Amino acid sequence: MIPEQMPSANMTVGRFAPSPTGPLHTGSLVAAVGSYAMAKRYRGLWLLRMEDLDTPRVVPGMADDILRTLEALGFAWDGGIIRQSDRTDAYQAALERLLASGDVYPCGCSRAEIARAATAPHDGEGEVAYPNLCRNGLPPGKEARAYRVKVSHVPVTFRDLVLGEKRYDLASVCGDFVVKRADGLFAYQLAVVVDDAEQGANQVVRGADLLSSTPRQIHLQRLLGFETPVYCHLPLVTGPGGAKLSKRDNALSLDSGRNLAADGGGLLLAALRFLGQQPPPSMSGASCREILAWAADAFDPALIPTVPSSLPFSP
């Protein structure tokens, strides 16, 4: 889908890419506000992509629920909406390019086999680095289940706008990682890279839970000859005192019982304050559109905090 307004060579193109696995929640509200404000701050485009690729996790009706919530909060996106479920051909074409260049190979390992063969300790996220068992060809008797991309010990480095310089040794962190899953679905890492390139996204603003995905995506961008966007990872939203948020407290949609006509402005202001911004007192009681217009003028990425906290909103 081509945005109605074609980006010029140096125009900022940001995007918001929710997964319709549940209603919009506080974390995705912060990602929506942050990505919108950052794109509009630079007079850029803000695109919307529905990440409905992981069909077993998609909840019917949630894509529309998210869109209605965004509209009720005054958001307007540029161009049409990309849906990953429509884009299998593009992911397959990228996979074939990577197979042809020898960067991707079929893997016949089950999770249990990988866990048994892994010698390296797991990283903090409990991830086992794939011990590259199928890298030099499927061992006899094994059938292709998934497809993996080769990684090396050469560090992937990037500068995150909020978190600063980052450096990852992918061979130690995850090893050769999956780009097409054993259930036949394309992996998030490949889909995002293909979609960001096709949409011309050059600014990726999203939650810090995705930080460890970024070096994997940069690795794929380089193999596929795509530009690397600017990255900006936003702090995670917790409950008060660092507690985990319950699904119920977290949900923000109209169908979850929120009165967005009354609370929408307060939610946007809470998200902006959470992101370190200082909307003036005159914004209290302003409409959602007015608050987003203020953010588009005044949002300052230098104020975004690096640490998780709760959303300063009391419904």
Nearer to ligand GLU, 51 or 103 (CB): 51
Nearer to ligand GLU, 7 or 34 (CB): 34
Report the distance separating Cα 4 and Cα 78, nearest Å.
7
Minimum CB–partner distance for residue 120 and ligand GLU (Å): 27
Taking CA atoms, 188 is separated from 83, 145, 260, in Å, by: 13, 17, 31
Nearer to ligand GLU, 17 or 146 (CB): 17
Place of tokens 């409990």: 126
Minimum CB–partner distance for residue 201 and ligand GLU (Å): 9
Identify whether 247 is a catalytic site residue: yes
Q: CB 37: neighbour CB atoms within 10 A?
A: 27
Nearer to ligand GLU, 107 or 197 (CB): 197
- Give the residues across from 279 on adjacent strands: none
The residue count for the chain: 315
Q: Which of 40, 150, 166, 247 is catalytic?
A: 247
Minimum CB–partner distance for residue 131 and ligand GLU (Å): 28
Long-range contacts of 121-126 (CB under 8 A, 24+ apart): 123/172, 123/173, 123/174, 125/212
Q: Where on the chain is the footprint of ligand GLU (CB under 6 A)?
A: 17-19, 51, 192, 206, 210
Minimum CB–partner distance for residue 149 and ligand GLU (Å): 17
Residues 6+ apart with CB under 8 A from 80: 1, 3, 4
Report the distance separating Cα 178 and Cα 189, nearest Å.
8
Report the distance separating Cα 22 and Cα 62, nearest Å.
6
Place of tokens 């030099």: 136
Minimum CB–partner distance for residue 192 and ligand GLU (Å): 5
Residue positions annotated with a catalytic role = 247
